[in-house]
Structure 1
Amino acid sequence: MHGLHLTADLHDCQCAMQWLTDKEALGAVCVKAATAAGLQPVGKLVHGFPATPQGPGGVTATVLLAESHLCIHTWPEQRGATLDVYVCNFGGDHSAKAHALMECLVSLFKPGHSERNELLRGKVAA
């Protein structure tokens, strides 16, 4: 049950609007980034939301990984996104791969400001 859970809240994203609104493009780049980081995608679900009076609709993208998951939610009207990368470290430490995936995705969105967190899960008390 040991794992690493990384989160990032991205604000003032300077990326192309495509990455905040295009479910096909975002889903594809998520799978590509996970694979490039050395993780194994085993499934994907991407949902695009309709436009509102506040602006274009966002996207929720989830990639199931053999090692756990990646999830992204976008808010194009706020030029923001939240990222969630979790890897189980059963049978091997995938922490470096999780960090590589997170760095790739943060660089895609080009945030002006971000808050990032790291949580070790399943840590056994000494």
Structure 2
Amino acid sequence: MIKLKQLGRHILIEYYDCDRKVLENSSLIEKYMLSAAKLAKATIVESVFHTFNPWGISGVVVIEESHLTIHTWPEYKYAAVDLFTCGNTIKPWTAFEFLEEKLSAKRTDITEIPRGVMDCIFKNQETFENS
């Protein structure tokens, strides 16, 4: 039996110097986010995208393994993306690379956060049970 160290991974991505035309195109952003989820081998449940006036998009792709979100600021050629995946069958880095290419990002900043770290979960359960 494989012992899990964490339940999920949360990758926070800053995409800079992106193609402004892409960042303001809601149907294209949704298409790219759904494709990113599929390429990552995620199981898509639902997607919701909203376009702001005069520009900018927020969207989420709910997957059985958690979610992928995007927020765009075309006026700054910037997008913020969260890839939160659970289990070890999903490939969030594949989604990252795909989106980097499709948004034409010239640079990125990335932070990966382990979610549901098992040592912390069990420590908290023991504390709760002993109180």
Which residue does the alignment assign to 2:89? 94
Distance 1:115 1:10 in 2: 7
| Residue type of the alignment partner of 1:59 | I
Equivalent position SS for 2:117: coil
Normalising by structure 2, report the TM-score. 0.80
| Residue type of the alignment partner of 1:107 | E
Which residue does the alignment assign to 1:33? 36
Q: Which has the higher helix share?
A: 2
How far apart are residue 75 of structure 1 and its match?
0.3
* Larger Rg belongs to: 2
User: Which among 69, 78, 81 is matched to residue 79 of structure 2?
Assistant: 81
How far apart are residue 94 of structure 1 and its match?
3.1
- Say whether the 8 Å CA contact 1:58–1:74 is kept in structure 2: yes
**Backbone CA RMSD of aligned residues:** 1.6
Which runs of structure 2 are paired with 1:1-126 in the superposition (5 Å)?
Answer: 2-13=7-18, 15=19, 17-51=20-54, 57-89=55-87, 93-95=88-90, 97-125=91-119
| Residue type of the alignment partner of 1:82 | A
Distance 2:94 2:105 in 1: 17
Task: Give the total of aligned pairs.
Answer: 115
Q: Structure 1: which 5+ residue stretches go unaligned?
A: 52-56
Give the % identical residues.
28
How far apart are residue 10 of structure 1 and its match?
1.4
| Residue type of the alignment partner of 1:104 | F
Distance 1:115 1:35 in 2: 23
Q: Structure 2: which 5+ residue stretches go unaligned?
A: 1-5, 121-131
- Say whether the 8 Å CA contact 1:87–1:94 is kept in structure 2: no
